[in-house]
Amino acid sequence: KVRVPEGLKNVPTLSFVSLVLAIFSDKGPDNRWEFMRKILEKEGIGKIWFSGEWFIVTTDLELTKDVFSKTDLYPKTSLEESYPGSLTAYYYGTNVVISNGDVWKRHRNVANPAFKSLPMHVFNETAVKLLKVIEKVDNEPIEVKDLMHRLTLDVLGRAVFGFDFNNLEDPTNIYVTTYQEVTAECDKPIYFIMPFIEYLPYFDRTEARKKIAKINELYNGLIEEKRKSMETEELSKKINNNTADLLECMIYASKDPKNPMSNEEIRYNLAIFMLAGHDTTATALSTILYVLATRKDVQRKVRDEILRVLGDDLTPTIDQQRELKYLNMVIKENLRIYPPVHQLPRRESSETIKFRNHVFLPKTPILINIYGIHHSSKYWKDPEEFIPERFEIENDEKRDQNIWLTFGGGSRICLGNNFSLIEQRVTLCALLRKYEVSLPADSIHKDKLHLGHINGTITGLQPLHLIFKKRTE
């Protein structure tokens, strides 16, 4: 498979060695963009050899729009097809993120109502817990990447299936550590670069499978319990008074004979919601705190707005969130400059496709490079500058909507975008009201923020210490 297919011969080649070095030295998407920029800004498309196949990497908007609108022509690749019998396929199975056609529609129909009414009390209460943790280390550097992961795991556990991981107060409890071990094992890059090694006895992942069994036991128990509550009408009551968690909403929606869903399918969706919502929002919150710590003028302006809109409240209502116009622009610009999903999960052509003077044979893998689109000088003026005003309504409306792809696009757009935005706003309001944020003078990030590698889609971050100094109001 190393031989280049005829139709891709005239697509410029991107460096496989640079990519592997970037992955193993824990470099972020900014580093990859550096070695891809020249080709992608000029051609909009490049090819790279990876895990035994030639991939198309693109920042071209025409191709991107096609991928979003012609989902039958560019379906996602199932985990079982990409990595048959792998640990990742075993844990995440078929779910709303990785499925196509009628199967995807059924999953989306069941998951969709769950994201319509979000549990504000979970966001608010977790923000208060966060403040208590920070209070204990007042005015000393605290590692924010880990702290934000603890926060987002707690929020997800409670909002998705009513389970408190309690990671903020007790980061060493067995559910937290098992969950972290499972996700760390699933993300190990070596199994993506050389998927075949998973089948060699030396690399056997039996221990990891046992850990997955433990997490699955938790999920299965909760699913069973909630199915039972459907029989007693308890679940209907929760749905009617908007206190159901996402799992309860899914179980309720799967009552519809048009969208049946087995316990196993629901479990795969729980696993993928945790994946989709955990590192992503933690990265978003960490990078925005860095931005606020290093741009005191922005921090001051955001805080002034929060104090004006919220009055004496600690956390904002949904109506108040709409009024936080400057904060919303800062959030959007942060998500442009540091997109937590730097590359969309792989699609592949379902038939032969002609694109310009190239030919993609069926099953050609295609990756949309979000980081590249967000940082391309073809689409953005001064792309490396942090300018929240880009998102003032009049500027935002004039722009092609496909150049800000933080949450993807088309019918596969992120289901949890509001979930994450609300979580970010609530957390930031509580933090900025109470604390001044700054970067220690000796920080490794003093010249620029050093991103990192989590996996092929999600952006990581090097440890980031920030100082939270209590404000005197």
Binding site for ligand HEM (CB under 6 A): 96-97, 108, 273, 276-277, 280-281, 284, 340-341, 344-345, 406-408, 412, 414-416, 419-420
- Report, in Å, the least distance between residue 272 CB and ligand HEM: 6
Question: Closest-CB residue for ligand HEM?
Answer: 416
- Report, in Å, the least distance between residue 207 CB and ligand HEM: 28
Q: Toward ligand HEM, which CB reaches closer, 359 or 421?
A: 421
Q: Which two tokens stand for residue 22?
A: 């970037």
Q: What angle do CA 76, 89, 350 make, to 5 degrees?
A: 20
- Report, in Å, the least distance between residue 107 CB and ligand HEM: 8
Q: Toward ligand HEM, which CB reaches closer, 91 or 436?
A: 91
Q: Toward ligand HEM, which CB reaches closer, 123 or 355?
A: 123
Q: Toward ligand HEM, which CB reaches closer, 121 or 356?
A: 121
Bridge partners (DSSP) listed for residue 438: 467
- Report, in Å, the least distance between residue 65 CB and ligand HEM: 13
What span, in angstroms and rounded, lies between the C-alpha atoms of 435 and 303? 10
Q: Toward ligand HEM, which CB reaches closer, 208 or 275?
A: 275
- Report, in Å, the least distance between residue 100 CB and ligand HEM: 9
Q: Toward ligand HEM, which CB reaches closer, 205 or 388?
A: 388
Sole residue written with tokens 């071990």: 181
Q: Toward ligand HEM, which CB reaches closer, 33 or 208?
A: 33
- Report, in Å, the least distance between residue 350 CB and ligand HEM: 16
What span, in angstroms and rounded, lies between the C-alpha atoms of 393 and 225? 46
- Report, in Å, the least distance between residue 382 CB and ligand HEM: 23
